[in-house]
Amino acid sequence: MGTYSVGVHERGEINLGEILRRVKENPELGEAGAIACFIGIVRCRGMRGGRVRKLVFEAYREEAEKSLERIARELLKRPGIVDVRIHHVIGELSVGEDIVYIVVAGAHRDEVFNALRDAVERMKREAAIWKKEVTDEGEYWVSGK
């Protein structure tokens, strides 16, 4: 069974506190012994070494959300996993701002950590979300792999 939520959001539409509040409201949380989260943030150094001025994220929202939903549903089939939340921000983001929140709740930490890592890696590979780095040395699209 399990509970999940996914989304692609404009900056300011979602935050970690709200996601955690919803996880805590999950009636199945009594089966969990761990909640883990991954927060991706904008770093100051670009992939090519320049200083990042901003990142620009674009998405084919409908397809991206379908991918995120598929990932969440598949992770919920794993033993012990009771909740998966994957939420990505699009638009222009500055250094230090949050890009993505992934939260997984489950019975044991090993199950939760493994599902969390898989969620991060699969999201980067499978979701129709693209990143452009704008640096002091130019701007370019970056693969999330």
Position 90 scores a pLDDT of 97
Q: Are 23 and 83 in contact (CB under 8 A)?
A: yes
Tens-of-pLDDT digits for all 145 residues of the chain?
A: 799 999 999 999 999 999 999 999 999 999 999 999 999 999 999 988 899 999 999 999 999 999 999 999 999 999 999 999 999 999 999 999 999 999 999 999 999 999 999 999 999 999 999 999 999 999 999 976 5
Q: How far is 36 from 102, CA to CA, in rounded Å?
A: 8
Q: Characterize the bridge pairing of strands 138-142 and 81-93.
A: unpaired
Question: Distance between CA 99 and CA 125 in Å, rounded?
Answer: 16
Q: How many domains does the chain have?
A: 1
Q: What is the CATH classification number for the domain harbouring 110?
A: 3.90.1170.40
Report pTM.
0.95
- Domain of residue 100 covers 3-142
CA distance 121 to 68: 12
